[in-house]
Chain A
């Protein structure tokens, strides 16, 4: 079964594996949510899922559409107001990891979720910051989940919404991580099975560095893939 995993499935499974051992994870909308819920099923059953709606320790059976679906509150260890979430839980660093998405990311791992084009005359107005700027600085560790394409991995952000400094960026083509020898610039450390380095370079808007010990991602196991498919089908 593993040979038939889609690029998106590999991305989600790789992201979920990186949550092994993490005590708690703050979850952004969309792809990060699927990976974090999958992590509870395959690598980290005790992972505390935190959503910015105030639900801490949510245990959703299905992938929620929004960060405030009723099931998140109904299954949470506790639910807190928004002010408390940011001031008592995120700002002091009580949540270990953050999983974020973005419309644009640059070589330093900074994110744009605000605008494409000029701020005052936008080509595309995006949703905006949400919780990301303070989540990224409050959590000890940040990971970013994003589709690998030139319009996403850009030389220059149209707007710097969040200084994320992620320890890993998980894409549908591979994994990028900061290279200490290049001042922390993101470099390609893993490529997913069947992906070439040239394909990753072609999908990146800057001259992408490649780690000397570039590895190929472990392909999804049958168990991982069926857990993901079962979760998505619920």
Chain B
């Protein structure tokens, strides 16, 4: 059953050095507050898993939290490069990072297989690409039709972290808007943490709403505006200006570290 705790406590309890950590949210509801807390607690050697690393993993890679990255699209959407991601892969700064990359369809099916406790996900994919030489994908033959299909190994992260609009006091969570792959991430992981914009007495069902019952979640932490510069549909707006500014802030190692010092390491923790 989910416990409602402070973010600091939740991260200390659930995320350890060397863990595989999946923080999901497809453009929307990205758990930045939790990522910043992981940085503040100085976690190291993580295996970071995320379809779209986005700014949150750019920051965590730049702070040296990870030894490995599993992903499918490492760009700043609509802006360009993720400079810390590039620096980590191209130059091993601040620490070398091993990568495993997939297509979105492959990653989505890896999560779905993990959530279903199946050994692999199945899709028509990767055919004729150079990805097959560099990543973990194999071919299986359909026992019914003989068709050759791509098989991708199930994801089983040690911990999944997602952000949602709200939780009730018993720890049930509801999110709506772009639902991404958060449900699959939580259900594929051994442990899970959900940060929320707010606590409510009772969840009121929303159109397209996804409910995660408290009994599949370990901890809930209240983190208002905890998705910024991403957003929480109906509650906050995506800060597109910040996504553009990040291109400048993150280009230079010293500027990046100064920004992280001021806005993350020395920031007053409110949640």
Residues on A close to B: CB < 8 A? 29-30, 52-55, 64-70, 72-74, 78-83, 85-87, 90-91, 114, 119, 122-134, 137-138, 159-163
Contact = CB atoms under 8 A, between A and B. Distances in A.
A131 B75 CA distance: 13
Q: Is the interface of B mostly helix, strand, loop or mixed?
A: loop
Contacts of B90: 122-125
A81 B104 contact: no
17 contacts: A30-B78, A54-B178, A68-B238, A69-B27, A70-B238, A82-B51, A83-B112, A85-B108, A127-B75, A129-B101, A129-B129, A130-B73, A132-B103, A133-B103, A134-B105, A160-B130, A163-B127
Contacts of A132: 103
Please give me the 7 A-B residue pairs with the lowest Cβ-Cβ distance, nearest first. A68-B27, A127-B75, A66-B77, A130-B73, A134-B105, A65-B78, A86-B105
A65 B79 contact: yes
Nearest to B244: A65
B26 interface: yes
Contacts of B267: none
Given A52-B104, A65-B243, A70 B233 contact: yes
Contacts of A53: 26-28, 178, 180
**Chain B interface extent, by class:** 35 or more
Contacts of B237: 70
A85 B74 CA distance: 20
Given A82-B104, A125-B86, A133 B123 contact: no
B14 interface: no
B263 interface: no
B75 A29 contact: yes
